[in-house]
Structure 1
Amino acid sequence: MNMVSKIAKPPVAPSVGALLAEARLARGYSLDDVAETTGLTVAEVTALENDADFDASRIRRTASVLGILEKICDAPR
């Protein structure tokens, strides 16, 4: 075992997209459900969950619908 493998690595915080996807699935919502509720398209919600879209208003709208707005505000970007 080399010295590098003995160094403890800090835990990696989930991305904003991962938090959105996790919250959606935990609530049993489909992509269609979230899209309809937020007024976004399924493609836009998917892009947010895949960290391919960083539009702050879309993130806030989706996080609010999923009840995790405070958690998102503390998440790494």
Structure 2
Amino acid sequence: MNMVSKIAKSPVAPSVGALLAEARLARGYSLDDVAETTGLTVAEVTALENDVDFDASRIRRTASALGILEKI
């Protein structure tokens, strides 16, 4: 098997937004729940989950609230 074949079959790492959304849903939290806990707006949380906002402070705050900071 050549290197290109190995690369093509490698799983793609999920995005930060996907990790945040997955953690939120796994915990049964709504966007409102996360917004209230983090002090962000629902629009800001949505932007993070959709990989539109890459603000490191917001990402850390949200990941911490969801208990996944070590995965980010």
Deviation at 1:14, TM superposition (A): 0.3
CA distance in 1, matches of 2:71, 2:52: 19
1:54 aligns with 2:54: yes
Q: Which has the higher contact order (CA 8 A, sep 6+)?
A: 1
CA distance in 1, matches of 2:57, 2:33: 18
Q: Give the structure 1 partner of residue 26 of structure 2.
A: 26
Deviation at 1:4, TM superposition (A): 8.6
Change (3 A) 1:45 1:9: same
CA deviations on 1:2-44 (whole Å, 9 max, x unpaired) are 9998985210000000000000000000000000000000000
**Any runs of at least 4 consecutive aligned residues in structure 1 with deviations exceeding 3 A, and if so which?**
1-8
Partner of 2:8: helix, strand, or coil? coil
How many residues align? The count is 72
RMSD: 2.7
Identity of aligned residues (%): 96
Gaps of 5+ in 1: 73-77
Gaps of 5+ in 2: none
Normalising to structure 2: TM-score of the pair? 0.89
1 or 2, which has the higher helix percentage? 2
